[in-house]
Amino acid sequence: MSATFAVTNPATGSELQAVPDAGPADARAAIDRAVQAFAPWKARTAFDRANVLQAWRGLMLRDEEIIARLMTQEMGKPIAESRGEVRYAAAFVEWFAEEGKRAYGEIIPSHVAGKRLLAMRQPVGPVYAVTPWNFPAAMVTRKVAPALAAGCTVVLKPAEQSPLTALHLEALWQQAGGPADAFQVLTTSDPAGVSEPFFADARVRKLTFTGSTEVGKRLYAEAARTMKRVSLELGGHAPFLVFADADVPAAVLQVMASKFRNAGQTCVCANRIYVHASIHDEFSARLADAVRALRVGDPLRDDTQVGPLVDRAGLDKVTAHVADAVAKGARVVVGGGPRDGLYFEPTVLADVTDGMRILKEETFGPVAPVVMFRDDAEVVAAANATPYGLAAYLWTRDLGRGFRVAEALDYGIVGVNDGLPSTPHAPFGGVKDSGIGREGGKWGLEEYLDVKYISIALP
Ligand code: NAD
């Protein structure tokens, strides 16, 4: 592979490094290697695989600062968050290394005396993994660790904006003693061209994808050609409901963490903030003060809280959402526009109403739109009135209301008085247009295991 493409730093616009630009022939070669490596990797015990995974985790933690800097430079995440992401990514490896030992089977009571019925779990086979740029380490390990722990081999295609972190993780895998062909990274500027051989090849048994709903739907259709199993972690449009009895300062703190982390470029970040009329003004004033205090700047500085957006397309979308809202009557309380380069000012919008794009689409930027509501049933209906169903949040001191609303929300994840529910041992994933399947916890391992039923008639 001699062709390369450049990775650029969104904070400075400068070129960071050239990486291999894989094409379809490289993809076919990687598939052959992943298929060859599958039988020996599957044959190793889960305990043996866990040892390799734990060594990999140790090297990730050793290289925390190196990986964090790579990540910040290639996609603009503030360095303090990048360090946190390396630890989060390593925690997935730790969890799945151990969980791989618990891929239990079952013995089913038989309907006849002379039979024994068994269900066992086996790895699905070689896996094709496609990941986005917004969590360049954690989205990789959340897929690759359970796949490897289950006994699958993986070819990973990272996003073209953030291949450097993935390449470093691949190098550490080999340093940890992992077979080179069990986990391969293919970097490319042509995701569709490189993906085609995977969809055409029936030996690749699984597609696991994290990214936009639009691309996810396309790949779901492609995967049907060779009847692959799929896991799809897609876009979100999270509502954040603040009820009249909420702890307002706590809710503001959590909305700040949920909304402005990664400059608002997360699939679970609060995208629509519905606040009850009785506390609306207090909430909005506190939120505006907190947003004004955010430190925007060079993401390599330890104290930076908001960095640039990842690219021009991202910045243009955020700018268009704010312009559309303002044209339709929203009021800018703080921020409101782009700054130099790829930066967008942390923004609070008030008087946001239905019909604005920002209440329909994922914004993926540091903009907090606040909507006033009066009726609990109406706000739950508004929260559900979207094709998306990834994460939702609600704030209340009333346990009964907390349960009732959590159960009524059509979402895969609900945070009750909790703006940051994600953790490696809990199920993460969406319903409706937000995807299929779960990552994390025992559910994350199941995605890489097939159930085999064995019926034994005793002689
Ligand atoms: P994207 O869909 O543009 O790209 C995601 C990946 O798909 C990248 O690796 C890209 O190269 C690849 N890709 C794009 N077109 C392709 C094609 N035709 N064939 C094969 N691969 C293709 O998304 P993005 O901009 O990188 O990421 C942002 C999106 O990801 C947001 O919508 C966000 O909500 C979502 N996301 C979801 C989760 C989740 O867990 N649900 C987590 C993080 C991000």
Ligand 1 neighbour 72 (Cβ under 6 A) = no
Residue 27 in tokens: 């993809």
C-alpha to C-alpha distance for 419 and 404, rounded to whole angstroms = 18
Tell how far the Cα of 90 is from the centroid of ligand 1, in angstroms.
Answer: 22
In this structure, the residue with its CA closest to atom 10 of ligand 1 is 159
C-alpha to C-alpha distance for 63 and 164, rounded to whole angstroms = 14
Amino acid identity, position 57: R
SS3 content of the chain, % helix, strand, coil (to 5): 45, 20, 35
Residue 362 in tokens: 């994922």
Q: Which residues form the catalytic set? A: 233, 267
Hey, which of 210, 225, 231, 310 would you mutate to test ligand 1's pocket, going by the most ligand atoms within 8 Å of its Cβ? 210
Tell how far the Cα of 236 is from the centroid of ligand 1, in angstroms.
Answer: 12
Ligand 1 neighbour 162 (Cβ under 6 A) = no
Residues with Cβ < 8 Å from 308, sequence gap 6 or more? 10, 11, 76, 263, 299, 341, 342, 343
C-alpha to C-alpha distance for 77 and 265, rounded to whole angstroms = 9
State the DSSP string of 352-416: --TTSGGGTS---SSEEEEEEE--HHHHHHHHH-SS--SEEEEE-S-HHHHHHHHHHS--SEEEE
Three-class SS state of 448: coil
Characterize the bridge pairing of strands 154-157 and 127-130: parallel
Tell how far the Cα of 245 is from the centroid of ligand 1, in angstroms.
Answer: 38
In ligand 1, which atom is closest to the CA atom of 159?
Answer: 9
In this structure, the residue with its CA closest to atom 11 of ligand 1 is 159
Ligand 1 neighbour 269 (Cβ under 6 A) = no
Give the largest CA-CA distance in the chain: 79
Query: How much is the pLDDT for 176?
Result: 98
Query: How much is the pLDDT for 227?
Result: 98
Question: What is the torsional sign of CA 110, 115, 120, 126?
Answer: negative
The separation between the first and the last C-alpha atoms of the chain, rounded to the nearest angstrom, is 57
Query: How much is the pLDDT for 2?
Result: 80
Ligand 1 neighbour 211 (Cβ under 6 A) = yes
Tell how far the Cα of 132 is from the centroid of ligand 1, in angstroms.
Answer: 5
Per-residue pLDDT of the chain (459 residues; tens, 9 = 90+): 689 999 999 999 999 999 999 999 999 999 999 999 999 999 999 999 999 999 999 999 999 999 999 999 999 999 999 999 999 999 999 999 999 999 999 999 999 999 999 999 999 999 999 999 999 999 999 999 999 999 999 999 999 999 999 999 999 999 999 999 999 999 999 999 999 999 999 999 999 999 999 999 999 999 999 999 999 999 999 999 999 999 999 999 999 999 999 999 999 999 999 999 999 999 999 999 999 999 999 999 999 999 999 999 999 999 999 999 999 999 999 999 999 999 999 999 999 999 999 999 999 999 999 999 999 999 999 999 999 999 999 999 999 999 999 999 999 999 999 999 999 999 999 999 999 999 999 999 999 999 999 999 999
C-alpha to C-alpha distance for 322 and 331, rounded to whole angstroms = 10
Tell how far the Cα of 312 is from the centroid of ligand 1, in angstroms.
Answer: 16
Question: What is the torsional sign of CA 287, 292, 294, 297?
Answer: positive
pTM to 2 decimal places: 0.98
Ligand 1 neighbour 134 (Cβ under 6 A) = yes
User: Under a CB-based contact definition with an 8 Å cutoff, are residues 435 and 429 in contact?
Assistant: yes
Amino acid identity, position 443: W
Ligand 1 neighbour 362 (Cβ under 6 A) = yes
